[in-house]
Amino acid sequence: MASASAINIDLSGATYCVLSGASQGIGRAIAVELSKHLGPKSLMLVLARNKEELAKTADLCKSDNVNIVFESMDLSKASAADMLSVIQSSLKGYNVTDFATSVIFHNVGSLGNLSVETERMENVEEMRHYYDLNVFNVISLNTQFLKVFEEVEDRVVIVNVTSLCAIKPMSGMASYCSGKAAREMYFKVLAEEKKHIRVLNYSPGPVETSMIDYVLAETVNANLREVFTSFRSQGALLKPEITAKKCLKVLLQGKFSPGEHVDYFDDE
């Protein structure tokens, strides 16, 4: 991990946060861990499709320091106007200058159709839907966030939850790998252009979530099934809470270079 330009990121003042994919797994764990670090008069907006599970996340994040707002939103279908509206609505009664730091965590994501071999992928509508959720609308949500906080852009921090699959091909996961790669490169380019914005690509490692069950149930790729079966049988899967703690530690230490890909297993 780069450290030459290390600048601690301070969330102990009033902080505004947006977190997508917050209804379960890694997203929920990051929301809970994040809430522990936020200072008085902070505001957190958590987004996902499942409103009931979001409400549970919000309850777990309760703190005297943090006002939690949760909104059901399907980011595979939401328009730019929808995204802008939900951010602006959460800020009702606030000014963007009220916050010392403004952070967005892009955690939303899916694995795609694992029942089709890579060489037989041809359903363009299905692929388009996949990229809408995992790439295009992530970029759009980020753009709406930057519009809202343009006046205080130098206070903005962006965290993209990425994967080793963004930089290393994984047999049987063409949609996931290509989507993560495209998404990560967008944030790297943004970091190159906007050097005053802190941008981190955090790879959480293999985590015990419902996605593991999905892989084992759906994949037609024998190698992929073997890899994930091995992870589980050897106890190599991380708990969401563990990788969430590492994510916040990496973020707060600020040792990463602009847009750097930092993995859970990287040396600190």
* In CATH, 15-206+241-263 is 3.40.50.720: yes
- From CA 177, how far away is CA 186, in angstroms rounded? 14
The model's pLDDT over 171-224, given as tens digits with 9 standing for 90+, comes to 999 999 999 999 999 999 999 999 999 999 999 999 999 889 999 999 999 999
Mean pLDDT split into 10-residue runs, the chain, 268 residues: 70 97 97 98 97 96 96 96 98 98 97 96 97 98 98 98 97 97 98 97 95 92 93 92 98 96 90
- From CA 181, how far away is CA 33, in angstroms rounded? 26
Q: What is the pLDDT of residue 2?
A: 63
Report the alpha-carbon angle 54-164-211, nearest 5.
40
Q: What is the pLDDT of residue 162?
A: 98
Burial class (CB in 10 A: 0-12, 13-18, 19+), 137: buried
Domain boundaries in the chain? 15-206+241-263
Q: What is the pLDDT of residue 150?
A: 98
Q: What is the pLDDT of residue 225?
A: 93
The model's pLDDT over 89-98, given as tens digits with 9 standing for 90+, comes to 999 999 999 9
